[in-house]
């Protein structure tokens, strides 16, 4: 052998070449497969928006159904005013993290609204983001055209405890949201609470939390209370021009 493979020079050279080769390989394959991954994420978002209206479709059918039901999504700012911008492209989870990290001021945050027609009525799908026990939780609720009644909901999470916090993805947790309102009869904001230890199912502004999943339940409670307050401002200010049968 012409060289000593245990010399320092060769060791460093070998390590450098190996790392560069592996790094390049990963970078190239990541760039190559990223479009497919992004498309999966985009379709999943459509699936979730549809699921909040109790429309469940396979991922492949999501774009078609989404285009059929959802019309002209828009953004509202923190005071509930409609603003310009691409609602679908806004990464609300990133915005939420930036806010938590102090990068974005709360008054600069934007909130997407997805108006949709389903089941013969106009619905408004609203995304929610919050923090559970182990990481981010998020969801979508659809609101009826009275601007206060929940039509349907869907929640998901990154890594909540299976069987406990992760139950927020289950029907039994999501169903009770239907028909709940986040303002009282006088129009004052009440939000929707997730109660520990259960609540009277006739409470129009509250649902039952998850036993053993208290912190996740509180996270859902917090994200509902915080985000619906913003949307409530929008629904109140929009009046009859935007909300068809208000």
Nearer to other proteins, 8 or 241 (CB): 8
User: Near other proteins by CB under 8 A, which window of 11-19, 104-112, 178-186, 187-195?
Assistant: 11-19
Closest CA to 182 of 213, 155, 210, 151: 151
How far is C-alpha 132 from the chain's CA centre?
A: 13
Work out whether 16 is an interface residue with other proteins (CB under 8 A): no
Other CB atoms within 10 A of residue 61 CB: 13
Which positions from 194 through 213 interact with other proteins, judged by CB under 8 A?
none
Distance, in Å, from the CA atom of 232 to the CA atom of 191, rounded to the nearest integer, reads 9
User: Near other proteins by CB under 8 A, which window of 33-41, 102-110, 173-181, 216-224?
Assistant: 33-41
What is the closest distance, in whole angstroms, from the C-beta atom of residue 69 to other proteins in the complex?
22
Map residue 131 onto helix, strand or coil: strand
Work out whether 170 is an interface residue with other proteins (CB under 8 A): no
Return the residue of 16, 56, 59, 121 that touches other proteins, per CB under 8 A.
59
What is the closest distance, in whole angstroms, from the C-beta atom of residue 39 to other proteins in the complex?
9
Is there a contact between 182 and 228 (Cβ–Cβ < 8 Å)? yes
Q: Can you list the alpha helix ranges (DSSP code H) found in 118-191?
A: 171-174
Reading the block at residue 66, the tokens are 């989404």
Residues near other proteins (CB under 8 A) are 5-6, 10-11, 14-15, 18-19, 22, 25-26, 29-30, 33-34, 36-37, 40, 44, 59, 159, 163
């Amino acid at each position: 052998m012409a060289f000593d493979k245990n010399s320092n020079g060769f060791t460093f050279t070998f390590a450098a070449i190996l790392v560069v080769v592996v790094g390049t390989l990963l970078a190239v394959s990541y760039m190559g497969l990223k479009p497919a991954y992004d498309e999966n994420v985009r379709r999943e978002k459509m699936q979730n928006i549809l699921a909040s209206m109790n429309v469940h479709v396979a991922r492949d059918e999501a774009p078609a159904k989404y285009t059929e039901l959802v019309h002209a999504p828009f953004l509202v700012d923190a005071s509930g005013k409609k603003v310009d911008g691409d609602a679908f492209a806004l990464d609300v989870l990133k915005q939420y993290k930036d806010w938590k990290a102090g990068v974005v001021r709360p008054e600069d945050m934007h909130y997407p609204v997805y108006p949709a027609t389903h089941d013969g009525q106009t619905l408004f799908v609203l995304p929610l983001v919050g923090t559970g026990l182990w990481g981010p939780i998020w969801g979508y609720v659809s609101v009826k055209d009275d601007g206060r009644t929940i039509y349907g909901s869907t929640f998901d999470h990154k890594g909540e405890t299976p069987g406990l916090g992760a139950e927020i993805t289950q029907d039994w947790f999501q169903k009770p949201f239907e028909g709940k309102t986040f303002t009282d009869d006088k129009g004052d904001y009440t939000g929707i609470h997730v109660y520990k230890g259960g609540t009277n199912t006739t409470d129009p502004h509250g649902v039952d939390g998850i036993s053993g999943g208290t912190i996740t339940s509180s996270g859902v409670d917090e994200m509902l209370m915080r985000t619906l307050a913003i949307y409530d401002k929008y629904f109140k200010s929009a009046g009859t021009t935007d909300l068809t049968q208000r």
